[in-house]
Amino acid sequence: MRIRVLILALAISPAAAAQDEWPAARRGDFGARWWVSTGETKLSHNAQGLDPTVGNPTSVLVYENLDANVLELFARQNFRNNVFLKGTLGVGQINRGSFDDEDFNAGQVKFSDTTSSVTEGRIGYGTIDVGYQWVLRGGAVTLGVFGGFSQWTEDYDAYGATDHLGAIGGDISRDVNVISNKVRWRALRAGFAGRFTFGRARLSLDLAAVPYAEFRNEDSHHLRAQPAGSSPSALGPVPNIIDEGEGWGVQLDAELRYEILRRTELGIGFRYWYMEAREGTSDFHHFSNGEFPVVDFYSWRTGVTISLRRTW
């Protein structure tokens, strides 16, 4: 009789422990992620208010094919009242890219066109969100909404120049730093978060709309950094052009993970970020009348991610 009671107790105890333990979808996690991506930033402005003989847009600057590697740390904590807190912090290096600078006269007649090499750059970002989730099907599915804040910064250094139209008097050597650029986006986020479990595999999806963002872009033309008015091309000390304004965007993260060890998951994913200006001004702030409207300004970055995380 005692043996039967002991066997029954041993059978019941694991079941009771499993009921008390939170399902995987209700615990937290932390880990590291590697993001391999490419990106682009484009800026143009209209200087016809200062000189009606120029075009609209007057100058178009494009930083493109900006390949980068980023190491990111992330964490998420789920609370028993179904509130969750999550965040990311990433820093990395931009390995290569190109810079195109085009200038136009009225009627969009191009009078200057140069191409430079982006040989180095840096990228950094962070996000923090708080949200509420619904746990369904015993934790196999969680659906949530969240709101939060993000900051995304990139800066580049471009060297040399190929003078396609002869407007600057010929090519510039590749060892000359001709321009540096730093762009920063600060954004409010609101979105949807979903997690779906299939045995030892999990699919996660975060889609965030950015209804409001602020940008600041610092443009440093090093070869034109003479005091304003000292020559026709002089722009004053760097950063000699500062662009500021408001915009919107979208941020998408999708990841498929597999539990390779107990509570340890390996994941591969896809990420796409896009920010665009609604309005803004380009300020040639060393000139008394050097403030022009921004015509077009956007940044995007996309690529694949690999992650390793630990859940509890």
Burial category of 190 from C-beta neighbours within 10 Å (exposed 0-12, middle 13-18, buried 19 and up) = middle
H or E segment and range at residue 257: strand 241-261
Q: Would 5 be classed as within a structural domain?
A: no
Which structural domain, as residue segments, surrounds residue 43?
28-311
**Which of 15-19, 120-124, 178-182 has the lowest average pLDDT?**
15-19
The rounded distance, in Å, linking the Cα atoms of 171 and 168 is: 8
**Which of 5-14, 52-61, 131-140, 300-309 has the lowest average pLDDT?**
5-14
Instruction: State both tokens at 285.
Output: 């702030």
Average pLDDT on 75-97 reads: 96
| Confidence (pLDDT) at 21 | 43
Q: Would 230 be classed as within a structural domain?
A: yes
* 155: CATH: 2.40.128.90
The 10s digit of each residue's pLDDT in 235-265 is 888 998 999 999 999 999 999 999 999 999 9
Q: Would 267 be classed as within a structural domain?
A: yes
128: amino acid identity, one letter: I
Count of the separate structural domains present in the chain? 1
The 10s digit of each residue's pLDDT in 209-228 is 999 999 999 999 999 887 86
Q: Would 18 be classed as within a structural domain?
A: no
| Confidence (pLDDT) at 229 | 67
Residue 26's pLDDT band, with cuts at 50, 70 and 90, is low
Residue 288's pLDDT band, with cuts at 50, 70 and 90, is low
The 10s digit of each residue's pLDDT in 161-172 is 999 999 998 999
The rounded distance, in Å, linking the Cα atoms of 280 and 292 is: 9
Q: Would 191 be classed as within a structural domain?
A: yes
The 10s digit of each residue's pLDDT in 101-156 is 999 999 999 999 999 999 999 999 999 999 999 999 888 899 999 999 999 999 99
Residue 8 pLDDT greater than 60, yes or no: no
Q: Would 17 be classed as within a structural domain?
A: no
The rounded distance, in Å, linking the Cα atoms of 191 and 250 is: 9
Q: Would 46 be classed as within a structural domain?
A: yes
Q: Would 2 be classed as within a structural domain?
A: no
